[in-house]
A and B are shown apart, each in its own frame.
Chain A
């Protein structure tokens, strides 16, 4: 192996990307070639200098601020999405769905008549879900899936959302701001998963125009599942 060939492969050799037999051939050459050994030595120094350069680390205060900002950032987003809607609640229809989540989990029966609610086209409305559980359920995964003609208010085109939450024994309130973008009936699916158990709850949503849907300042409908 010539010095030129060594020069071409020196990076791959030092970085450990060559096959063992090729590395062996280079080592054999290095044993008898001072200039190539010096080349390897210089390259090693270069790599060591790179690894130790610009080693800057954040202060504990800065790190704490990053994580604090996450909470406040999330709060401000949530205010826009969840709380902000209720400020314009004059035209909102609040629907209370009482969901009994017992263990073991069960699914709704086929053919069972679903609770339903009528919503108005292009009018932001809030659906309130109450998830009632008999015991604390740590790290439950909650998924909300909306029909094609309805989206989350403030999230154009978004029809499903998933997050992890710790459910407390008793009732847990979730306010879902939605807006219908097309008329017709559809089904909202609320899925709660805990460990290997899952339960789906379905609610019929029937979208009509303002003329078809009597305006309600605020009404509460309770459904027991």
Chain B
């Protein structure tokens, strides 16, 4: 006699669930990493999301677009985690004075659209600066920058994911970008700045 629960667990459970979710797992982890800024917390976040989604797996078949749906779960898990932790898990950075002659203009440090092999290091450097700048934003601004500017969701899609009106998102995104640009162009990161200048 076959046990119904065993079948639920091992035949129609993880295997079928995995087939649906696995194509999105890389994107999910990438977004999680961009939210939290380190691989350990991104790992925890994705596992948390999978537990949540797995418990609602009967709804998966009814989901029209799985990627935004998964991103909604990820965003909520990120906000829950951040509030639960009571602090940002990202590393704060040191600052330099405005007008410092060694300040690097962010845009000059940005790689060209088609970077050659020699620019790979510079691209990593830029990514590290963006990571640190993102850590300075609050969770709402960071989420918006990650989902819109990095993950490529439109404001219309984000209105559903973040459950916020488009107009509010548009002005919030504007403020977030202003803050992000200021953080980057102010050359907040002395170590990065020094290493960048040495490379030149």
Complex CA–CA separation, A167 to B14 (angstroms): 16
Q: Of B95-103, B148-156, B191-199, which stretch is located at the interface?
A: B148-156
Chain B residue numbers with a CB within 8 Å of A105 are none
Query: Is A57 in contact with B29, judged by CB distance below 8 angstroms?
Result: yes
Q: Of B1, B134, B173, which contacts A173 at CB under 8 A?
A: B1
Query: Is A173 in contact with B3, judged by CB distance below 8 angstroms?
Result: yes
**Contact digits for A158-181, partner B, Cβ 8 Å, 1 yes 0 no:** 000011111110111111000000
The residue of chain A having its C-beta at the shortest distance from the C-beta of B51 within the complex is A73
Complex CA–CA separation, A12 to B154 (angstroms): 11
Q: Give chain B interface residues in 10-65, CB to chain A under 8 Å.
A: 10-14, 16-18, 22, 25-26, 29-30, 33-34, 37, 39, 42-43, 46-47, 50-51, 54, 58
The answer, yes or no, to whether B177 is at the interface (CB within 8 Å) is yes
Listed residue (A51, A57, A165, A170) with the most chain B CB atoms within 10 angstroms of its CB: A165
Complex CA–CA separation, A69 to B48 (angstroms): 11
**Contact digits for B116-157, partner A, Cβ 8 Å, 1 yes 0 no:** 000000010011001100100000000001000110100100
Chain B residue numbers with a CB within 8 Å of A78 are 5, 9
Chain A residue numbers with a CB within 8 Å of B10 are 71
Q: Of A54, A142, A165, A166, which contacts B34 at CB under 8 A?
A: A54
Complex CA–CA separation, A174 to B17 (angstroms): 21
Query: Is B113 in contact with A55, judged by CB distance below 8 angstroms?
Result: no
Query: Is A48 in contact with B131, judged by CB distance below 8 angstroms?
Result: no
Complex CA–CA separation, A171 to B130 (angstroms): 59
Q: Of B9, B33, B34, B150, which contacts A74 at CB under 8 A?
A: B9
Complex CA–CA separation, A170 to B37 (angstroms): 52
Complex CA–CA separation, A54 to B37 (angstroms): 8
Chain B residue numbers with a CB within 8 Å of A166 are 7, 11-12
Chain A residue numbers with a CB within 8 Å of B86 are none
Complex CA–CA separation, A141 to B127 (angstroms): 47
Q: Of A51, A67, A82, which contacts B18 at CB under 8 A?
A: A67
Complex CA–CA separation, A53 to B135 (angstroms): 13
The answer, yes or no, to whether A1 is at the interface (CB within 8 Å) is no
> Min CB distance, A27 to chain B, in Å?
20
Query: Is B42 in contact with A131, judged by CB distance below 8 angstroms?
Result: no
Q: Of A50, A58, A130, A142, which contacts B25 at CB under 8 A?
A: A58
Chain B residue numbers with a CB within 8 Å of A165 are 4, 7-8, 11-12
10 of the cross-chain contacts (CB-CB < 8 Å) are A12-B170, A50-B130, A54-B127, A56-B42, A67-B14, A70-B54, A73-B54, A78-B9, A131-B4, A163-B12
A-B interface, 6 closest residue pairs, ranked by CB to CB distance from nearest: A53-B127, A174-B4, A53-B130, A56-B33, A50-B149, A168-B2
Chain A residues with a Cβ under 8 A of chain B: 11-12, 15, 17, 42, 45-58, 62-63, 66-67, 69-71, 73-75, 78, 82, 130-131, 139, 141-142, 162-168, 170-175
Known contacts A46-B106, A167-B4, then 13 further A-B pairs from the complex at CB < 8 Å, ordered by chain A residue: A47-B149, A50-B150, A57-B26, A57-B29, A58-B26, A67-B14, A71-B9, A74-B14, A163-B12, A164-B12, A170-B2, A173-B2, A174-B5
